[in-house]
């Protein structure tokens, strides 16, 4: 597995690189790693694309440093990978917190190397309710959730596992897959887990989203309990009216598994249009 060192603080990050052709750079969701894309990568490689997947600091096989979990540093880590591989004509694909990292990357480093961006249930534009962001989640609810996470991290993830895949709507996700995904979430550094989540909830990406000029695709489940579409994609498309939003009526936050075939088709169509 290849590694590289960031230019910000020398953290060693792991990534995977499959296929040839125009590059697609993937940014994983919070507490997930490159392995989350196991249903997307083979499909896109078979269609002639090069898939590059980063393990965020504190996640997967990357270093677990004591700092750098703010979104600016995480975005700079993505920039370091793209520079390290000297990529151009890049398609960016991100899920959840990875989506926030990608729009911050574009805000900080520009669109010169990137042709388009596709985000699944992204943590944008601003998760917390404030006076000028009434669509956000009330801060007292977010703090209560963080307190539960701090008190019993395994219980926090286990309690949300069924809703993550919206299995109550008949989505065909096995118990084995659900258990495995919970374990994958628990594999991230406990410290990084909490630091990234707190930063995710506090980060305002409204200027980042409003500044996007490249083609922009949003894929979001209507029953997403982790990042409700009303808080996220419905607000993002107001800031970037050129974006295309595709709603998944029966999908939760784990649409990359529960609705993998449709996600893959939508991403491929977006790249090739």
User: What residues are annotated to the active site?
Assistant: 96, 224, 253
> By three-state DSSP, how is residue 133 classified?
strand
Mention every residue, 6+ apart, whose C-beta is less than 8 A from residue 85.
Answer: 17, 23, 52
Q: How far apart are CA 227 and CA 262, in angstroms?
A: 20
**Strand 3-5 relative to strand 216-221: parallel, antiparallel, unpaired?**
unpaired
Q: Determine what percent of the chain falls in helix, strand and coil, rounding each to the nearest 5.
A: 45, 20, 40
Tokens linked to 3:
């590694």
Alpha-carbon distance values, 222 to 135, 236, 252, 255, 268 (Å): 16, 15, 7, 11, 22
């Amino acid at each position: 597995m290849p590694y590289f060192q960031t230019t910000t603080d020398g953290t060693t990050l792991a990534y995977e690189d499959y296929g040839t052709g125009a590059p697609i750079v993937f940014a994983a969701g919070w507490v997930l790693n490159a392995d989350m894309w196991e249903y997307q990568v083979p499909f896109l490689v078979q269609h002639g694309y090069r898939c590059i997947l980063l393990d965020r600091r504190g996640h997967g096989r990357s270093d677990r440093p004591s700092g750098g979990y703010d979104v600016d540093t995480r975005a700079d880590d993505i920039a370091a990978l793209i520079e390290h591989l000297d990529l151009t004509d890049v398609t960016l694909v991100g899920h959840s917190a990875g989506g926030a990292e990608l729009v911050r990357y574009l805000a900080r480093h520009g669109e010169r190397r990137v042709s388009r961006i596709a985000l699944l249930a992204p943590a944008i534009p601003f998760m917390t309710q404030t006076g000028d962001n009434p669509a956000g989640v009330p801060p007292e609810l977010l703090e209560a959730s963080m307190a539960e996470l701090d008190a019993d991290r395994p219980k926090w993830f286990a309690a949300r596992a069924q809703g993550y895949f919206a299995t109550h709507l008949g989505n065909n996700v096995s118990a084995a897959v659900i258990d495995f995904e919970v374990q994958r979430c628990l594999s991230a550094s406990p410290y990084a887990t909490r630091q990234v989540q707190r930063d995710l909830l506090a980060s305002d990406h409204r200027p980042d989203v409003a500044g996007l000029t490249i083609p922009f695709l949003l894929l979001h489940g209507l029953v997403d309990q982790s990042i409700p579409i009303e808080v996220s994609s419905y607000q993002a498309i107001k800031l970037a009216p050129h974006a295309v939003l595709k709603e998944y009526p029966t999908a939760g936050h784990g649409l990359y598994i529960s609705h993998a075939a449709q996600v893959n088709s939508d991403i491929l169509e977006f790249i090739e249009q």
